[in-house]
Structure 1
Amino acid sequence: MTKPYAKAPLTVAIIGGGLSGAAVAYHLANLTDADIVVIEPRADLGRGVAYATPDPDHRLNVPDHKMTLRSDRPDDFRAWLHQADAPSLPANSARLSGEIYAPRAVFGAYVAAQLQPLQKQGRLRHVQARVITVSRPDRYRLGLSDGGQVTADIVVLAASHPNAGLPRELASLAGDPALITDPFAPGALAEVAEDARVLIVGNGLTSADIVASLYLRGHRGQITALSRHGLRSQPHGPNQPETKADFAKSPPRTALALLRRTRAAVAQDHALGLTWHAVFDRLRAQGPVIWAALPEPERRRFLRHLRALWDVHRFRIAPQTYDANQQMQRQGRLVSLAARIVTATPGSPIKLGLQARHNGTRFTIAVDRVILATGPAHGSVIAANPALSDLAALGLLQPDPLGLGLLTAPNGQAVPVSGAPDGSLLVAGPLARAAVGELMGVPEVITWAEHIAREAARQINARQGLVAAQ
């Protein structure tokens, strides 16, 4: 492939080798001859938290033809699945429509396979360690958990999702063996007895995955899924025409206006025989424009009042996962509650005081296990990550005011505490979503990674030109 940038004596360090970091490395290696170092403690690049789970019941929530490492090759994952060296799939992965909902680990294997040739060719390096210190006397000096050090000119932050934070209402259960804080940890759900009464704190995709895993393990006990709104993630819709709704033309300037336009568009589509899925697909596609048009106070209102509604329609469940959850509901073994936790009393059983959302009624339930499924604690990512903590102490980055991750300029550069960004610190993945809007799904993560790779290549080219001019 012809490369538009000449060989540069610069080093780019990518902190984190999950999907975001691996995607940046993959695309950057095809743009520049810089020394690319991906610092990731896992043995394979591209898996991260999401795609390292070995449970075959933890599936991609979108079909194979919408998953890819390259936006210009939307069918790349589908084509790879049919190669001889691709892993075999569980028997129920394919639907009658021909769409495949593969285990997430299989997509992780696909990403790793795309990077392996680049590693063998020496176009990128994988350092299997963690970054535990960062200093910047001139260039970035990254101290590693194995005692080594990487010196870099440009750093790309592709840090992993922080684990779900323990809600303060559950602080009394900290350290209790009946509390499972990471349901994706190897063997975490295997410890749940078949007849255990289970409370899942959270009602999104992670909650649905937990229910499906327990169902397929023959779980017989009562499962209660708890969230503030009580809304559960929705299934995929039928194949249908696209909506004619256009939110990018004169985009709404308030969260209320966005809600009203969405409702009107869904009603218009319903009259034409379309389901709500078409409108939400358009909202997702036009998300960056919609988000950019909302002032910060309106972004806050969206996150406070509409985020749950958006999440359950945007992040849809794989058909197999949905079927398992529906089975549990029909059998009366899965109940969703719209309530909040007021008190938690350790013991056997654990007693939880709850307050219903709609009428404020307080009641108590007794459970044997509590499982956290509240999603990543992005608001605490700096404190939870030594590299980010050091960069923040140096004044080179700061949290975004919405609590979604890091304050990031529209071009992906981290915004320092004072002064303008110098282009040497870039933010990949969901930690940049306060600037971008939708940045959790694979298509959006890949598109942003391609942008970050181009931005890093541009910085390399500019710095190399400056050195040449001197």
Structure 2
Amino acid sequence: MSRDRGVPVVAVIGGGFSGAAFALHLVRRHQTGAQILVFEPRAQLGAGLAYSAEDPSHRINVPAARMSLYPDDPESFQRFVDSHGVRHTDPSILTPGGQAYPQRSVFGAYVQAELAPYLEKGAISHRQSRVRSVSRSGDRWLVVDETGSQTPADLVVIATTHPSPQLPSVLRAHATHPRLIADATVSEALANVGADESILIVGNGLTSADVIAMLSRQGHRGNIMAISRRGLRSRGHLAVAQEPFGDFLSHPAKRASELLRRIRQTLRSAETQGLSWHSVIDAVRSQGSGIWQALPMEERRRVARLARPFWDVHRFRIAPQVEQVIEENLKEGRLEVAAAFLKSIDAKDQGFDVVLASKGREQSPRHFDRIIVTTGPAHDGILASQPFLQTLQAAGHLNNCPTGLGIACDATSRAVDSTGKADPSLLIAGPLARGTFGELMGLPQVTEHAVFVADEAAAELRRLQATVPDCSLHPHPSSGPAAIANPTIQLERQRVRS
């Protein structure tokens, strides 16, 4: 399949935040003239699973002033909130300290508004379909979607969502039980939960907190028990933010044990200066990429295996509104948080008789009307989660990251094949690259990574221009920022649908 069509094609698989941000920055920063096709089955680009949530209890978990599509304009989303009357439609948006934590769907609307001018002018095209296979066809890629449409592409950018949670082994025999909710992030997953049902939540992170907030909003009155092996739960924010505290890059740690020791030392130093642990964790987060790059692979694996649960509950904080709901449930005795794991389950028509264990000791059996799994994405199973990823792995183009945190890629986000070679025409964007880049779950870091991958893609398109004479990379009339007339005015016409 020769390159004789004049305009190169960039196929972006996944149109949630990562894919949308990549496409946006590629067209804004680089006048490549490429045709940018984003494959996303949802009706709108940019929201994905996280920001398409319509439940009012689902809120962003950092202040709006720290959420933005643009690293050099951190208050972009805050301006959107202020200019679109969100505070008038959401009386609970502000904390006592005046920080705004809008509903997640508002952020999804913001991303859609930023994309709208480029979609209208054709600089970015939305293919509302799932990709079924991606394969080599000569020196290009062939992308086949669920409609059977075949799209040749010069570059493929994988920006798909996280895989669904993996059921704990003792639950797998009951996967189809009507009172087991295997993935609480699925739309309407909690719709049939009775107000007085007793519930066991397996997992105690952000999703667990969202579930508790949703149930409370629905009027749930029954008892809830949330378990994790260590009994840790996501923490909240400081009422008044502090500046990051700590230097972990001047002499970066080479071992996981050394890194953890330095974090503990910095925490003690921060305490003597009247600072909270939040400031130290924020410093680790902001320096995360450099910290991670300095660790050898085996030490990265050790951090991911041993320290990740502790990191997650401090790094990924819940919105103050959600924290208030959880604290109220704890105070009133409706919620119990415990360090335990599932030992055995006896399924009944109306629920489950469960034996929990903690530190090797079994507890007395307890009955729960329903079990909800909120253990988080099964990152190490990403390549088995979608057919097109399976075909790419089977052909040797993709591998699981050795850290167990996504897809293997190099320091320029190029996928690493089965021979260890990086392919410049196959890029990984977003959290699935976190095994290489470290801190790639928070939105600011995902945004920065989208810019980075856009720059890498543009460099590869320029290389194609230099090496393939008949592949014209001159901008066509509908591409590039110059083709967008008055985007600011057009954005003002967008309205939040929440």
Give the TM-score of the pair, scaled to structure 2.
0.90
Secondary structure at the counterpart of residue 118 of structure 2: helix
Preserved CA contact (<8 Å) 1:8 1:34: no
Preserved CA contact (<8 Å) 1:142 1:150: yes
Secondary structure at the counterpart of residue 225 of structure 2: strand
Aligned counterparts of 1:98 and 1:325: Cα–Cα separation in 2: 21
* Displacement of 1:125: 0.4
Aligned counterparts of 1:99 and 1:132: Cα–Cα separation in 2: 43
* Partner AA of 1:324 in structure 2: V
1:340-419 equivalence runs, <5 A: 340-347=341-348, 348-357=350-359, 360-418=361-419
1:19 aligns with 2:17: yes
**Which stretch of the first structure deviates more once superposed, 244-253 or 207-216?**
244-253
Aligned counterparts of 1:84 and 1:75: Cα–Cα separation in 2: 14
Aligned to 1:179: 180
Preserved CA contact (<8 Å) 2:87 2:93: no
Aligned to 2:280: 279
* Displacement of 1:438: 1.0
* Displacement of 1:342: 1.2
1:50-449 equivalence runs, <5 A: 50-84=50-84, 89-138=89-138, 139-347=140-348, 348-357=350-359, 360-418=361-419, 420-449=421-450
Residues 186-244 of structure 1 show CA distances to partners (whole Å, capped at 9, x for unaligned) of: 32212111110001110000000111111122211110101111101001014354354
1:34-45 equivalence runs, <5 A: 34-45=34-45
Question: May I ask how many residue pairs the two structures share in their alignment?
Answer: 463
Aligned counterparts of 1:125 and 1:85: Cα–Cα separation in 2: 29
Aligned counterparts of 1:200 and 1:469: Cα–Cα separation in 2: 58
Aligned to 1:28: 26
Aligned counterparts of 2:274 and 2:302: Cα–Cα separation in 1: 31
Secondary structure at the counterpart of residue 252 of structure 1: coil
* Displacement of 1:256: 1.6
* Partner AA of 1:364 in structure 2: P
Preserved CA contact (<8 Å) 1:49 1:161: no
The CA RMSD measured in Å over matched residues stands at 1.7
Residues 274-319 of structure 1 show CA distances to partners (whole Å, capped at 9, x for unaligned) of: 1110000000001011111222222222122211111111001100
**Which stretch of the first structure deviates more once superposed, 182-191 or 196-205?**
182-191
Aligned counterparts of 2:77 and 2:358: Cα–Cα separation in 1: 44
Preserved CA contact (<8 Å) 1:243 1:269: no
Aligned counterparts of 2:310 and 2:41: Cα–Cα separation in 1: 36
Preserved CA contact (<8 Å) 2:12 2:158: yes
Aligned counterparts of 2:244 and 2:333: Cα–Cα separation in 1: 37
Would you identify which runs of 4 or more consecutive aligned residues in structure 1 move more than 3 Å?
84-89
* Displacement of 1:419: 5.3
Aligned to 1:48: 48
Secondary structure at the counterpart of residue 72 of structure 2: coil
Secondary structure at the counterpart of residue 327 of structure 1: helix
* Partner AA of 2:104 in structure 1: R
Aligned counterparts of 2:460 and 2:88: Cα–Cα separation in 1: 41
Secondary structure at the counterpart of residue 300 of structure 1: helix
Secondary structure at the counterpart of residue 422 of structure 1: strand
Secondary structure at the counterpart of residue 185 of structure 1: coil
Preserved CA contact (<8 Å) 1:143 1:149: yes
Aligned counterparts of 1:392 and 1:136: Cα–Cα separation in 2: 12
Residues 338-392 of structure 1 show CA distances to partners (whole Å, capped at 9, x for unaligned) of: 11111111113301111113x6344322101111101111111111111111111
Aligned counterparts of 2:64 and 2:215: Cα–Cα separation in 1: 25
Aligned counterparts of 2:307 and 2:450: Cα–Cα separation in 1: 27
* Partner AA of 1:39 in structure 2: F
Preserved CA contact (<8 Å) 2:413 2:428: yes
Residues 385-419 of structure 1 show CA distances to partners (whole Å, capped at 9, x for unaligned) of: 11111111121111111221110101100001125
**Which stretch of the first structure deviates more once superposed, 247-256 or 227-236?**
247-256
- Structure 2 unaligned spans of 5+: 472-498
* Displacement of 1:324: 0.1
Distance 1:241 1:216, change over 3 A: closer
* Partner AA of 1:349 in structure 2: G
Residues 115-162 of structure 1 show CA distances to partners (whole Å, capped at 9, x for unaligned) of: 111011110100000100222122111111122121100000001111
Preserved CA contact (<8 Å) 1:240 1:274: no
Aligned to 1:9: 7
Aligned counterparts of 1:84 and 1:418: Cα–Cα separation in 2: 51
Aligned counterparts of 2:420 and 2:209: Cα–Cα separation in 1: 44
* Partner AA of 2:268 in structure 1: A
* Partner AA of 1:206 in structure 2: T
Secondary structure at the counterpart of residue 346 of structure 1: strand
* Partner AA of 2:441 in structure 1: M
Aligned to 2:487: none
* Displacement of 1:86: 6.5
Residues 243-267 of structure 1 show CA distances to partners (whole Å, capped at 9, x for unaligned) of: 5420111111222211211111111
Secondary structure at the counterpart of residue 251 of structure 2: coil
Aligned counterparts of 1:251 and 1:128: Cα–Cα separation in 2: 44
Preserved CA contact (<8 Å) 1:89 1:102: no
Distance 1:365 1:396, change over 3 A: same
Secondary structure at the counterpart of residue 50 of structure 2: coil
- Structure 1 unaligned spans of 5+: 1-6
Larger RCO (alpha carbons 8 Å, 6+ apart): 2
Aligned counterparts of 1:301 and 1:439: Cα–Cα separation in 2: 18
Aligned counterparts of 1:368 and 1:174: Cα–Cα separation in 2: 15
* Displacement of 1:181: 1.7
Preserved CA contact (<8 Å) 1:430 1:439: yes
Distance 1:324 1:240, change over 3 A: closer
